[in-house]
Amino acid sequence: MIIVMKKDATQNEIQTVVNRLEAIDCEAHVSVGRFRTVIGAVGDRNQILQLPLEALAGVERAVPVMRSYKLVSREFHESGTVIEVRGVRIGDGSFTSVAGPCAVESRDVLFETAEAVRAAGATVLRGDAFKPRTSPFSFQGLKEKGLILLAEAREEFDMPFVAEVLDPRDVDLVADYADILRIGTRNMSNFALLTEVGRTKTPVMLKRGFTATLEEWLNAAEYIYKEGNQEIILVERGIRTFETASRNTLDITAVPLLKEMSHLPVLVDPSHASGKRHLVAPLARAGLAVGADGLMVDVHPAPDTALVDGAQAILPDEFAELMRSIEVMARALGIPL
Amino acid sequence: MIIVMKKDATQNEIQTVVNRLEAIDCEAHVSVGRFRTVIGAVGDRNQILQLPLEALAGVERAVPVMRSYKLVSREFHESGTVIEVRGVRIGDGSFTSVAGPCAVESRDVLFETAEAVRAAGATVLRGDAFKPRTSPFSFQGLKEKGLILLAEAREEFDMPFVAEVLDPRDVDLVADYADILRIGTRNMSNFALLTEVGRTKTPVMLKRGFTATLEEWLNAAEYIYKEGNQEIILVERGIRTFETASRNTLDITAVPLLKEMSHLPVLVDPSHASGKRHLVAPLARAGLAVGADGLMVDVHPAPDTALVDGAQAILPDEFAELMRSIEVMARALGIPL
Amino acid sequence: MIIVMKKDATQNEIQTVVNRLEAIDCEAHVSVGRFRTVIGAVGDRNQILQLPLEALAGVERAVPVMRSYKLVSREFHESGTVIEVRGVRIGDGSFTSVAGPCAVESRDVLFETAEAVRAAGATVLRGDAFKPRTSPFSFQGLKEKGLILLAEAREEFDMPFVAEVLDPRDVDLVADYADILRIGTRNMSNFALLTEVGRTKTPVMLKRGFTATLEEWLNAAEYIYKEGNQEIILVERGIRTFETASRNTLDITAVPLLKEMSHLPVLVDPSHASGKRHLVAPLARAGLAVGADGLMVDVHPAPDTALVDGAQAILPDEFAELMRSIEVMARALGIPL
Amino acid sequence: MIIVMKKDATQNEIQTVVNRLEAIDCEAHVSVGRFRTVIGAVGDRNQILQLPLEALAGVERAVPVMRSYKLVSREFHESGTVIEVRGVRIGDGSFTSVAGPCAVESRDVLFETAEAVRAAGATVLRGDAFKPRTSPFSFQGLKEKGLILLAEAREEFDMPFVAEVLDPRDVDLVADYADILRIGTRNMSNFALLTEVGRTKTPVMLKRGFTATLEEWLNAAEYIYKEGNQEIILVERGIRTFETASRNTLDITAVPLLKEMSHLPVLVDPSHASGKRHLVAPLARAGLAVGADGLMVDVHPAPDTALVDGAQAILPDEFAELMRSIEVMARALGIPL
């Protein structure tokens, strides 16, 4: 932390800052310049962050220099985390494709989709049994019945599945069925839920809050990690900006940045980012181009009858075509699928 | 909902849209123009919103015309909702001041603050026993012990109190003590929590998600209302923008807009919006000037030792001075306190 | 400037940074901590900002500590700038009302409006002869003919006027007529135009770019000031955010922040911020409540026939009513009009 | 345009809207629903946009349905525009690489860079002689001297060059030398400058305003096109969002959207978007993956001595490596370079 004192800060005010830092066992480096005094605080970052430095007399600004997350940082753990579920490895340098319907609606739709995405090259199935909906009157998911169907599809098509969990009270239930739990964008800062999934032994996909900075996102991952669950996959799914031509703006720059900042694997979700079917394939290819560890795509055999987010789901045929281009690009770039 | 067809949409595609609308018992008004056909859909908005209209062939855009919330809308309930807790009325045309420490840290600090804000004219006490923190290593609140202290302060100073609830599993506990439950900005879209507080009989303060549109916010209120709890107070607390000179940007325009859109009372929270002590008083006065039903302010007798958000808490003396200017302005504008 | 070195920065890399700073005659304070080395650079801020510090080997981040503007800062000039045009003083602690039609359309509309706003208490007339329009096919203003009408209205109603200038080649022309030049939101970073108005002796209203930070805005003012024109009035007119319920979000927090950061007077423009007639009065009052030096409002006798921005113009009667409430509030707060 | 009337709009108010539309020779389709009346207006969009519909009594909202730009739209001109400068074709399905220093600083640096990027596969040279700088004290470019150097480099290395123009008064000068004029991000809405470059016969690169929507950007292009200059190249260079880990957020989704909306070619500029050297290569590859017509990259032989934006310039060697990966990917995707 760098503490910039006001131009007219007194010697006493400077000393008070130093004392407060030393009281929590930090080093305080005082630099007296021509215009201002600047104090560099070195020590346990979480302790420093708890000091109300900007409330102290004579302080103009306190600028954090070190990041507030630690366990999920690349500094803490140099080599990338690799997560293995039923033989599928995520984060090992290969490119993993997760696909399936947004929500589980019926056995038929789920099975038809799972069969098609498996044939096209997807290795993990997606499908939700609990859906967070902006309006309380929208379809909220099949709940346990949906999880049972997903588990059947897993056996039938031999692919692990990921499903969203919304409520800390449902974590055990979802974890009983799913191979990977997913925390959705609206729950990224639901600390009660993060803590609860952190107590399971099931890998977690943590979607970025659509208005979260990378630092806030990694702090959310830290909540999970701290409880003992180290198998976390980050999913970039677009952020809210002033542009309304697409639903959200896929922040592709986040992928190489996260790769530097953290050891966790990173997927991109072009379906929820764009909200539009015809944008899914180019954005998916962009994800591969920037070094993501995989992608997650909504696929539905009849998007215009889908109960949730039909406008963004691609057809099984479109998914197969996307996978062919992914394969060609991945081969050219030397990335295994 | 207005459905704009593509320039080259076929008669068949137009008919399909009409059929889908009529299947859910909507009227479809087809308007054939020189360049495009436009279909106006009139009927149950929640049903229409579930149709994946943009996924239908020939559809260029579907533009919602009516708002997606209903129960909390001014159209549904013309006169403003008035909420009464222990004799304090919020939303009746008066201006209510809620004040207290951000978090409950100790009996002494809480009581000292409560006494001071009561004397200065605040009628509701704030103080949290559960704190959501970006970092898992920060102070998380005194939990039930904090609620007990708040209940004691209520008796001592004869003022109802509001406290945050973070986890659906804690709703009953917090409601056992608090006069008003508060949903924080990070939980505005935590639908499990909204549903749970909706099932209590305790009034709820719903803070705006710092990245939520007014429409999303009112939909969140709808979740609570739909469960049977109609006593909801909206709290504007600033939104995330590109500007970083203050923590968030207080969206003062939201107040008169909400007054048109909804029948619920609206407070402003200048403390969390600005994050800076010296901005609290002018922003509080702006809240009064735009027609808010009250304000909520963090007050702390020693902000530089506060465990949470010290940089934004004002001193008891500063609060008393703020209240004097609020009183003068309110009298001039004919608003009772 | 604080330069944070990478964890593994070498002694050589640190020395290179120090050498680069000393080469431009800066002091470099090296602080060696347990985890990282931090270098505090003290000296001429504009010279330091030109060093590509983040491109040097071993540097993790360079964090500016001092502001990049100087001449317009409160530090440079403690007492507030007061601007006087034809007897009207802006920035002297009083509250100035600027009002008139958005664009000059005809002699009749202009004169009718000017007479009404003068009678209601406005002391400066607004009206534009050159209009920047998003679409090239929209009405672009009456040009010199409009300026002539404004000059006539000035004589008739004895009030100075402000008019927008869009093109560096028109600065002399507009300055020949207008008492105050205005730089619009889209031109805030048009450095050629800023430089040109800086060379005149006519006061300048500089509107905030709707996506500009306060620091960028003050740097734009610095361009004008540096050329010798020190009479600059800042106008907050709303910023672009994710919220679309109003056209822009009036950043009321900017007013007290600017008052600290700079010595220039600050007005608020609730008309262009909100884009909606019924929001103008509450936002204008909020401007007074947060300490602005005045307001600027679009008034039109028949908004539904206005050629530009009719949806936001208020009627002369509504303006008179607004002025009455401003008067009552100002008196209560001890602010002269 | 869809005009949504208020719930309680009178028959008279509805008729007034219809009359206003018919007065400008528009069709008005009135749709009376159970809750509201909706009017569809069909006719000349620019005329309709000038009506202050939201200011008419009884009108709740006016929702534009058709886009406000026309000449640059894909509807107006189905096949993509191809621009040819000195034998280099942009927009013909190939992928064009533009590279060079951000600013022209000296003959040596310019020639060294030009030679290197030419050898690596770039076909257009970039380098600016006029620089817009946030601070008036920063280096502002070599002006005509810089243009002369660029013209010499063009002959020496046989590649056309693009240079920025900032001031309408400099357009003729820059056009005398440059093969392509560039309008920078801060000038995207400088309508005087757009009009002036529209009057030349030199192709124009129009960078996206970092806070402009796609629709605003295409309207800016319309300004140029309307004056007679149809050779316009759009350059996506990142938008301002809440995320500060990179300078701006490259909006990769804009590329496929623009390809649908407009017939103009689209490049991406990963250097100015990210502001960080090590992000340039992945973002450049993402541009190719989403279907851009090319890229523009800052290259400098000694970034740490660059006078402008050194932190984002890549070394000639890094550029050569980037071009090798671009070549491999382009070949795999069947895109000629």
Q: What is the pLDDT of residues D40-99, one digit of tens each?
A: 887 777 778 778 788 888 998 887 766 778 899 998 899 999 999 999 999 999 999 999
Out of A40-49, A79-88, B54-63, D299-308, the most confident range is: A79-88
Segment D112-162, tens digit of pLDDT: 999 999 999 999 999 999 988 777 777 789 999 999 999 999 999 999 999
Instruction: Establish if C253 touches chain B: CB-CB under 8 angstroms.
Output: yes
Can you give the pLDDT at residue A132? Answer: 82
Query: Which residue bears the tokens 């991109």?
Result: A268
Nearest CA in chain C to B246: C253
Going across the sheet that includes A2-5, the strands are: A27-32, A37-42, A2-5, A59-63
Name the DSSP letter for residue C311: G
- In angstroms, the CA C337 to CA C315 distance is 21
**Three-state DSSP state, A123:** coil
Residue of C215, C244, C256 lying closest to B282 (CB–CB): C256
Handedness of CA D52, D54, D57, D61 (dihedral sign): positive
Task: Quickly count helices (H) and strands (E) in chain C.
Answer: 11, 14
Average pLDDT over residues A305-332: 91
DSSP E strands in chain B: the ranges are 2-5, 27-32, 37-42, 59-63, 83-85, 88-90, 96-100, 124-126, 161-164, 180-183, 204-207, 232-236, 266-268, 294-298
- In angstroms, the CA D300 to CA D253 distance is 29
Nearest CA in chain C to D183: C190
Instruction: Establish if B287 touches chain A: CB-CB under 8 angstroms.
Output: no
Q: What is the 3-state secondary structure (H, E, C) of A208-262?
A: CCCCCCHHHHHHHHHHHHHCCCCCEEEEECCECCCCCCCCCECCCCHHHHHHHHE
Instruction: Establish if C6 touches chain A: CB-CB under 8 angstroms.
Output: no
Can you give the pLDDT at residue D134? Answer: 72
One-letter amino acid at C269 equals D
Instruction: Establish if B40 touches chain A: CB-CB under 8 angstroms.
Output: no
CB pair distance less than 8 Å for B311 and A216: no
Out of C41-50, C123-132, D134-143, the most confident range is: C123-132
Instruction: Establish if C329 touches chain B: CB-CB under 8 angstroms.
Output: yes
- In angstroms, the CA D321 to CA B312 distance is 50
- In angstroms, the CA C219 to CA C189 distance is 9
What b/e readout covers B289-325, taking b as 16+ CB neighbours within 10 angstroms?
bbbbbbbbbbbbbebbebbbbbbbbbbbebbbebbeb
**Three-state DSSP state, A264:** coil
Residue A180 backbone dihedrals phi, psi, to 5 degrees: -135, 130
Nearest to B294 by CA among B126, B93, B82, B113: B93
- Measured in angstroms, the CA of B241 and the nearest CA of chain D are apart by 6
At D178, the pLDDT band (50, 70, 90 cuts) reads: very high
Residue of A239, A256, A279 lying closest to D256 (CB–CB): A279
Nearest CA in chain A to C7: A75
Contacts of D252 in chain A (CB under 8 A): 250, 252, 283, 286
Nearest CA in chain D to B41: D33
Lookup: tokens for D262: 């407009």
Instruction: Establish if B44 touches chain D: CB-CB under 8 angstroms.
Output: no
Contacts of C139 in chain D (CB under 8 A): 50
Can you give the pLDDT at residue B198? Answer: 97
- Residues of chain B under the 50 pLDDT cut: none
Residue C66 clears pLDDT 70, i.e. is over it = no
Inter-CA distances, A302 with A274, A309, C8, C85, D98, Å: 19, 12, 54, 69, 43
Segment A118-173, tens digit of pLDDT: 999 999 999 999 988 777 777 789 999 999 999 999 999 999 999 999 999 999 99
Contacts of A306 in chain B (CB under 8 A): 52, 55
Touching B (3+ Cβ pairs <8 A), the chains are A, C, D
- Measured in angstroms, the CA of C19 and the nearest CA of chain B are apart by 32
Nearest CA in chain B to D38: B40
DSSP E strands in chain D: the ranges are 2-5, 27-32, 37-42, 59-63, 83-85, 88-90, 96-100, 124-126, 161-164, 180-183, 204-207, 232-236, 266-268, 294-298
| Cβ count within 10 A of residue D160 | 18
- In angstroms, the CA C180 to CA C162 distance is 4
Residue of B2, B7, B240 lying closest to D38 (CB–CB): B2
Query: Which residue bears the tokens 């302010």?
Result: B297
CA angle C262, C265, C268 (to 5 degrees): 115
Yes or no: say if D150 and D111 are a contact pair by the CB < 8 Å rule. no
- In angstroms, the CA A171 to CA A168 distance is 5
Instruction: Establish if C252 touches chain B: CB-CB under 8 angstroms.
Output: yes
One-letter amino acid at A1 equals M
Work out the end-to-end distance of chain B between its first and last CA atoms, rounded to an integer number of angstroms: 42
- In angstroms, the CA C276 to CA A211 distance is 27
Lookup: tokens for C25: 């005659």
Residue of A31, A43, A63 lying closest to C29 (CB–CB): A31
Lookup: tokens for D25: 């020779």
Can you give the pLDDT at residue C101? Answer: 95
Instruction: Establish if B303 touches chain A: CB-CB under 8 angstroms.
Output: yes
Nearest CA in chain B to D7: B75
CB pair distance less than 8 Å for B34 and D43: yes
Lookup: tokens for C60: 């993790």
Instruction: Establish if C328 touches chain B: CB-CB under 8 angstroms.
Output: yes
C288 phi-psi bin (left φ>0, alpha ψ -120 to 50, beta other):
alpha
Nearest to C322 by CA among C282, C270, C268: C282
Contacts of B306 in chain A (CB under 8 A): 52, 55
Lookup: tokens for C283: 């936002």
Residue A66 clears pLDDT 70, i.e. is over it = no
Torsion of CA A150, A154, A159, A162, to 10 degrees: 30
Instruction: Establish if C68 touches chain B: CB-CB under 8 angstroms.
Output: no
CA angle D105, D109, D114 (to 5 degrees): 115
Instruction: Establish if A143 touches chain C: CB-CB under 8 angstroms.
Output: no
Residue A116 clears pLDDT 90, i.e. is over it = yes
- In angstroms, the CA B184 to CA B163 distance is 10
CB pair distance less than 8 Å for B42 and D34: yes
Can you give the pLDDT at residue A7? Answer: 83
Nearest to D116 by CA among D318, D332, D254: D318
Can you give the pLDDT at residue D66? Answer: 67
Can you give the pLDDT at residue B66? Answer: 67
Lookup: tokens for C173: 């022309």
Instruction: Establish if A226 touches chain C: CB-CB under 8 angstroms.
Output: no
Can you give the pLDDT at residue A64? Answer: 75
Touching C (3+ Cβ pairs <8 A), the chains are A, B, D
pTM: 0.92
Q: Where are the alpha helices (DSSP H) in D237-276?
A: 254-261, 270-274
CB pair distance less than 8 Å for D329 and A289: yes
Segment D271-308, tens digit of pLDDT: 999 999 999 999 999 999 999 999 999 999 998 888 77
Average pLDDT over residues C292-298: 98
Instruction: Establish if A94 touches chain D: CB-CB under 8 angstroms.
Output: no
At C1, the pLDDT band (50, 70, 90 cuts) reads: confident
| Average pLDDT score, chain C | 92
Instruction: Establish if D56 touches chain C: CB-CB under 8 angstroms.
Output: yes
At A14, the pLDDT band (50, 70, 90 cuts) reads: very high
| Average pLDDT score, chain A | 92
Lookup: tokens for A180: 């990977």
Give the DSSP H or E segment for D268.
strand D266-268
How many residues are listed for chain D in this entry? Answer: 337
Average pLDDT over residues A265-278: 94
**Window from B33-37, B148-152, C147-151, D328-332 with minimum mean pLDDT:** B33-37
Residue C294 backbone dihedrals phi, psi, to 5 degrees: 165, -175
How many residues are listed for chain C in this entry? Answer: 337
Instruction: Establish if A133 touches chain C: CB-CB under 8 angstroms.
Output: no
One-letter amino acid at A325 equals S
Nearest to C30 by CA among A148, D21, C19: C19
Instruction: Establish if A75 touches chain C: CB-CB under 8 angstroms.
Output: yes
The upper half-sphere exposure of residue D194, i.e. CA atoms within 13 Å in the direction of its Cβ, equals 31
Can you give the pLDDT at residue A269? Answer: 98
Yes or no: say if C329 and B333 are a contact pair by the CB < 8 Å rule. yes
Strands A37-42 and A27-32: antiparallel
CA angle C147, C149, C155 (to 5 degrees): 105
Yes or no: say if D154 and D123 are a contact pair by the CB < 8 Å rule. no
D93 phi-psi bin (left φ>0, alpha ψ -120 to 50, beta other):
left
Contacts of B211 in chain D (CB under 8 A): 242
Residue C328 clears pLDDT 90, i.e. is over it = yes
Contacts of A250 in chain D (CB under 8 A): 252-253
- In angstroms, the CA C184 to CA C162 distance is 12
Yes or no: say if B270 and B81 are a contact pair by the CB < 8 Å rule. no
Give the DSSP H or E segment for C161.
strand C161-164
Instruction: Establish if B252 touches chain C: CB-CB under 8 angstroms.
Output: yes
CB pair distance less than 8 Å for B246 and C257: yes
Contacts of B211 in chain C (CB under 8 A): 242
Residue of B241, B290, B329 lying closest to C239 (CB–CB): B241
Residue of D31, D33, D34 lying closest to B31 (CB–CB): D31
Bridge partners (DSSP) of residue A181 are A163, A204
DSSP E strands in C79-139: the ranges are 83-85, 88-90, 96-100, 124-126
At A1, the pLDDT band (50, 70, 90 cuts) reads: confident
Residue of A38, A61, A242 lying closest to C240 (CB–CB): A242
Nearest CA in chain A to D270: A253
Segment D219-269, tens digit of pLDDT: 999 999 999 999 999 999 999 999 988 999 999 999 999 999 999 999 999
**Three-state DSSP state, D116:** helix
Contacts of D168 in chain C (CB under 8 A): 167-169, 192
Instruction: Establish if B142 touches chain C: CB-CB under 8 angstroms.
Output: no
